Structure 1
Amino acid sequence: MQKFICAALGLCLLCIWGCRESSIKSEVNRKKDSINKAVQQTARDIAGNFSDQSTLRFSSSSVDSFFVKYDTLRSFLDELNKFYTTRHYAFAWFTENGLTEQASHLYVRLENLPEEGLNIVLPYKRHLDSLINNGNTHALNQKTETELLLTALYFFFAQKVWGGLEESATQQVDWLMPRKKLSYSGLLDSILKPGNSSTTIQPVYRQYNLLKEYLKKYKALPPVNITISLPDKKPIRPGDTSTMIIKLRKKLFLLGDLTTPDTTSSIYDTTLLTAVKRFQRRHGMKDDGIAGGGMVRELNVPVQQRIEKIIVNMERNRWLPTDVRGRYLAVNIPEFVLHAYNDDSLLWNMNVVVGKDVNKTVIFAGTISQVVFSPYWNVPAGILKKEILPGIQKNPNYLEVHHMEKFGNGVRQKPGPWNSLGAVKFLFPNSHSIYLHDTPSKSLFRESKRAFSHGCIRVAEPKNLAMYMLRDDPNWTEEKITQAMASGKEQYVAVKNPMPVYITYFTAWVDRQGDLNFRDDIYNRDPQLANLLMKH
């Protein structure tokens, strides 16, 4: 049987760098290469080969007796039976010479579940320790018990690390996007088949392993937190001299923003300026190099809170599809940004405005199928009741002043520069009444925190998005799109190639430069998910 480069437990580490990056060795790329090499080395360290032998077998009746003793793992009975039926009950973790190298690697991964951001107790750890330490015994019954326990614990590992919380738990935190579906026995079985490339299977979204690497780094940070304060309550600016700048340097060095180990200077020089701007960008702040109150608050967030945020977002990444192909859009609500992708290549970004805390934008997926130029705004029932009807009671001319009219049993706003949806909207049918749209309130896009809407998503560059959505239709030139947006006449246009759009919620991620980003938990969803993880 052809030897595989990496088996199941090394897969996720081999597949995390899907970006199409330039081969030019800029400083950013050197950093990414360094991370990539570290990941590849880790993959090699845990690589091994499942046994492809077929002479060593055990009786199928051993499975039932195994689960009598290891009843806690009985939920994996079907997966285990499916796996061994395809192997005709041949050992996978043993050869004629004893335990395979891969068995040892699985044992190490099981011993180090906290590195996966999981606060769970490995079942039957004492039994596993004893069996592994006597793994080269010639007794068939002990080999069989070791074999079945390793496989059952592989499924336990796969479920917890690659699958995450059950779907009912994700719905408690209002995550309504479809969860990935993965057969772990099929995954393991396909890896064992001759001729299959392990790199074609990605059991977890690539961001998971990037966050995992930073989890190790943050857990290794010194327990003593460095508190930053502003001298005389004034922002620290380039050229300033202050003893607090020494603390600022030390903190930024620990967090990886300051690359030079010299942290003793009390002068705000160009080296510190670069570090401050990097920290600001990582936290979604204006990178002006001025360390003011907002930056100080971020600097003083305890490391343990950052660790919790990383763990929470590792869990969210367990739920995502592992291989989305083609063109699609993704909105990250806490980031206030819309991303356009082709496969895993980032094409462009666009700022957005999302729902206020009282009008939360829903986390779900849809498909954009229509572009509507010069749209009417059909006032939602909630806004009609809370805002429009009280306005009419105070001012009989309210509808006329706001360019509105009665429409059926409701109210709608006429197309025009005053329209709350602006000059164009983008529809993806859903039960949440959420869509992307233009807005006359352009100044809000200059804010660093942009949660101002009633739940829909306002886009900063509506014309560019319209051109992108209709790029496959030669009838819709830039000139025609400009005219339609200004026509004042509502017009629906079908998108020739409807595009998936994912409305997501991530408060920590690693960007294309390899930097760890944090954002405010604007809807206070992180603590609830953290509590669910503690319970499971």
Structure 2
Amino acid sequence: MKNLALSIIALLITFSSAAINRNGTENTTVLESPCVKTYLNTTINNSIVTIDLATIDRFFKKYTSLKKYRSDVVVLYKNRDYKSIWYDDKELIEFASLLYSKVNQLENEGLKFNIAYKDKIAAIFNNGTAIEITKTEKELLLSSLYIFYAKKVFQGLDVNKVQEIGWFLPQKTTSYKILLDSLLAAPQLLHKNESQLHPQYYKLRDALIKYRQIEKRNDWNPIETDLSIIEYNPGDSSKTIGQIRHRLVVLEDLEKDSKSNIYDAELMEAVLKFKKRNGYKPNYMIGSQHINRMNIPIEQYIKTIIINMERCRWISPGLAKEKELIMVNIPALKLIYRKNGNNVLESKVFVGINMLETVIFSSSISRVVFSPYWNVPRSIVENEIKPAIAKDSSYLTKNNMEWYKNGLRQKPGPRNSMGLVKFLFPNTYDIYLHDTPYKESFDADFPEFSHGCINMQKAKELAYLILEDYPDWPVDKIDQAMDGSKETTCVLKNKIPIHIGYFTAWVPDSGEINFYFDIYHKDYRLAELLFNEETH
């Protein structure tokens, strides 16, 4: 009788084996016998992974440090009807190893591999390890690893943290399930994915590699200074000149090091490149401020690049494809107007300072106002103009101002603080982009600062370019509207996006990285969040 029972079980096993296809997956027509199903489940669990909500919950109860990724992991499996992501038959798919390799190279992205359970994750790819780990655990560890990587590289810091440090540009959102689909279909997107990250990110990543190579060469010796010498000019000779020459070779502003201590024509061109890249007035004088800039430790340059790579994670990659837009980079004190993929105008700007910092945000220019009134903000009236009136009763007359509707305004004219044209975009910060009567200040050694608005050097040129496709606004009409006699408004048919950002490192189309002064000290706060971040 016992032998008969064993024979029946063996026969059932034979039938059930036929119900498993050649790929090792369970056929939907398996026998319903409970004893056979028990046997089959035992066999199949050694070859494939089945996932459900209960399994996911058990996993995150065990791996509690990964619990923050649970909701995103659930979405991944729900999108795939709870089928395995990382296994094909009995083996891990090739993309799993590729993802793990990229995570181990996170330093190239300016990030750290600081996820919990590193030893367990490493054991997935190490057949000789003594660490015991089930296939289900491997599956869910890899899914958690993917979410960790995608959040770190493609999304960046949490939006609430970003806004806490004063960044109000629209922050992009990332669909991790859609991203995973694209990566599985085209794994090369792990290396470069401009549908997820602005092209500037990858330019900065290249710069990071370059500056880390400089650091490894250990060729960043301090430039010695002579306190008795205020500045160096072409023709001067000094040991310091030779050290400056070498530093500019290291930075690739100069092609080769002649070892000369004389400030010659070759060095003059290199100094101009360095100054242009670092936001200085373009001349040949080398002062203590320039030497101090060159003496910034290489690791600080590296941190600055990493900080700005993080900022690039927050912005939409679609900005690079917009047909028309205006970008203002506050630290660079520069405005760029892009049209049809080209920079058609660059202009110096002034921005706010101290308690009147220009806000980082986006909007759209809807109107151009010629010969504008300046409606003086109440804070300026109370803190500056009323005290001035108290000292000089003719102050308003001298400054072409008048009381109007319970406020104060400055009438149109060549000395109006708005200049001869302003560009309006809706915002709650009372910030405008406008002309200024103080054009000479743009050529000063040290920048002027505004009350928060953006004063631009080439406002008239911007008006010409914006309206060049408006037949009703030829150049002569624009000039006439800017004669300062009366306020005239042009409503734009097509609003122009304007993005006011904050980047202390930026790589322009020329390919040479530019560094700018952290005038609002925002790098320091962001560095605290990035470099002191707790383990994920």
TM score, norm. by length of structure 2: 0.83
Aligned to 2:447: 450
Q: Would the alpha carbon gap of residues 193 and 508 (structure 1) be closer, same or farther in structure 2, given more than 3 Å must change? A: closer
1:197 Cα offset (Å) = 9.4
Q: What is the CA distance between 1:273 and its match in structure 2? A: 2.5
Ranges in structure 1 where 5+ consecutive residues have no aligned partner: 1-52
- 1:337 is aligned, of 334, 356, 359, to 334
Please state how far the C-alpha of 1:200 moved relative to its aligned partner.
7.9
* 1:417 CA drift (Å): 0.9
Residue pair 2:235, 2:263 contacting (<8 A) in 1 also: yes
* Mapped partners of 1:360, 1:340: distance in 2: 22
- Where 2:124 maps in the other structure, the secondary structure is helix
Could you tell me how far 1:136 is from its partner in structure 2? 12
Aligned to 2:222: 226
> Structure 1 residues 283, 181: CA separation in 2 closer, same or farther (over 3 Å shift)?
same
Aligned pair in 2 of structure 1 residues 239, 94: CA closer, same or farther (>3 Å)?
Answer: farther
Q: Is the 8 A contact 1:218 1:303 kept in 2?
A: yes
Counterpart of 1:241 in structure 2: which amino acid? S
The question of 1:393 aligning with 2:390 is answered yes
Q: Distance in 2 between matches of 1:450 and 1:331?
A: 16
Greater shift in the superposed pair: 386-395 or 442-451: 442-451
CA distance in 2, matches of 1:270, 1:100: 59
* 1:70 counterpart residue number: 63
Residue number in structure 1 paired with 2:253: 257
Alignment pair present for 1:155 and 2:151 = no
User: After the TM superposition, which residues 352-431 of structure 1 pair with which residues of structure 2 at under 5 Å, given as runs?
Assistant: 352-431=349-428
Give 1:89-238 correspondences, 5 Å limit.
89-96=82-89, 98-119=91-112, 121-134=114-127, 142-192=134-184, 202-220=195-213, 221=215, 222=218, 225-230=221-226, 232-238=228-234
After superposition, the C-alpha distances for 1:503-529 in whole angstroms (9 at most, x for unaligned) are 111111112111111111111111111
Counterparts of 1:230 and 1:285, CA distance in 2: 22
Match of 2:282 in 1: 287
Percent same amino acid at aligned positions?
A: 41
Query: Take 2:226 and 2:518, find their aligned partners in 1: how far apart are those partners?
Result: 25
Does the alignment pair 1:441 with 2:434?
A: no
Larger radius of gyration: 2
Structure 2 equivalent of residue 467 of structure 1: 464
Asked whether the equivalents of residues 76 and 176 of structure 2 are also in contact (C-alpha less than 8 Å), the reply is no
Please tell me the root mean square deviation across aligned C-alpha atoms, in Å: 2.7
Deviates more, 1:78-87 or 1:162-171: 78-87
Selected match of 2:497 from 492, 497, 500: 500
Q: What is the count of residue pairs matched by the alignment?
A: 481
Q: Distance in 1 between matches of 2:283 and 2:24?
A: 65
Q: Report the TM-score when normalising by structure 1.
A: 0.83
Q: 1:526 aligns with which of 523, 528, 531?
A: 523
Query: Which residue number corresponds to residue 16 of structure 1?
Result: none
Cα 1:75–1:395, aligned 2, differ >3 Å: closer, same or farther?
same
Cα deviation, 1:325-381, whole Å, max 9, x if unaligned, reads 221100001111111123654332111111123321111111100111111111100
338-347 or 485-494, which deviates more: 338-347
Paired residue for 1:239? Answer: 235
* Matched-pair contact (CA < 8 Å) for 2:49–2:139: no
* Structure 1 residues 388 and 150, CA gap change in structure 2 (3 angstroms): same
1: CA distance between counterparts of 2:83 and 2:158? 32
Letter in 2 for 1:372: V
Structure 2 letter corresponding to 1:265: S
Aligned letter for 1:112?
Q
Q: Per the alignment, do residues 344 and 149 of structure 1 end up closer, same or farther by CA in structure 2, a change over 3 Å counting?
A: farther
**1:484 matches 2:481:** yes
Contact 1:230 1:292 in 2 (8 A): no
